[in-house]
């Protein structure tokens, strides 16, 4: 099984797990917060929708052969290093708290219960995009992060970043649902 096959399998498992764990919850359950400074389940998935959305046009430009190479993508060594550091920081096993960049902060108001279906639909788009690049050398194609314009990494690392980031917030959402005060 190739690295891409593993990532696609993980992405499918995350989508299935999200639907199974949160698909039947009401909007009030999805928007419940354990405390003012913590995110709700809905905010976890709103954040993922926002952050993953930036990858879709990048994948499409690579797939269609229209991707332009940017300066930061040409720098030797940096893309490989950036990908590894980002993956390590996003790993769900990491106990270090991270602050989402301002443009990736989730909505603060009530989020529609459709957020779970929206996430799963976007996940299917991402999986199709990943599959559409399976014949390319994903380790050699370098992209710029949709979050930070001065960070570049391989497209394969981008796919790994997507699922690692999703796993982190899926687990965060599961912890919210397991809180003693969570509305049943």
- Please spell the DSSP secondary structure of 12-57, one letter per residue: HHHHHHHHHHHTT--HHHHH--SSTTSPPHHHHHHHHHHHHHTHHH
Structural domain count, the chain: 1
Whether 13 is in a domain gets the answer yes
Q: Which domain holds residue 142?
A: 3-177
Whether 182 is in a domain gets the answer no
Which CATH number covers residue 160? 1.20.120.450
Whether 184 is in a domain gets the answer no
Q: Could you read off the pLDDT of 103-147 as tens digits, one per residue? A: 777 877 799 999 999 999 999 999 999 999 999 999 999 999 998
Whether 97 is in a domain gets the answer yes
pLDDT at 74: 72
**What pTM did the predictor assign?**
0.89
Whether 183 is in a domain gets the answer no
Residues of the chain predicted below pLDDT 50: none
Whether 128 is in a domain gets the answer yes
Whether 28 is in a domain gets the answer yes
For 151, residues 6+ apart whose C-beta sits below 8 A from its C-beta are: 72, 82, 86, 144, 145
Cα distance between residue 29 and residue 27, in whole Å:
5
pLDDT at 77: 54
pLDDT at 79: 62
């Amino acid at each position: 099984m190739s690295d891409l096959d593993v990532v696609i399998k993980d992405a499918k498992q995350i989508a299935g797990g999200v639907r199974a764990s949160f698909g039947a919850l009401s909007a009030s359950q999805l928007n419940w917060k354990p405390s003012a400074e913590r995110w709700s389940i809905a905010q976890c998935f709103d954040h993922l929708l926002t952050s993953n959305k930036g990858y879709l046009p990048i994948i499409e430009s690579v797939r269609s052969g229209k991707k332009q190479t940017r300066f930061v993508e040409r720098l030797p060594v940096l893309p490989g290093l950036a990908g590894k550091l980002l993956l390590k920081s996003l790993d769900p096993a990491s106990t270090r708290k991270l602050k989402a960049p301002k443009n990736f902060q989730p909505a603060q108001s009530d989020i529609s219960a459709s957020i779970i279906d929206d996430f799963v639909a976007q996940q299917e788009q991402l999986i199709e995009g990943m599959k559409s690049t399976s014949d390319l050398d994903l380790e050699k194609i370098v992209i710029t992060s949709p979050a930070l314009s001065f960070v570049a990494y391989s497209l394969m690392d981008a796919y790994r970043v997507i699922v690692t980031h999703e796993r982190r917030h899926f687990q965060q959402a599961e912890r919210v649902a397991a809180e003693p005060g969570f509305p049943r």
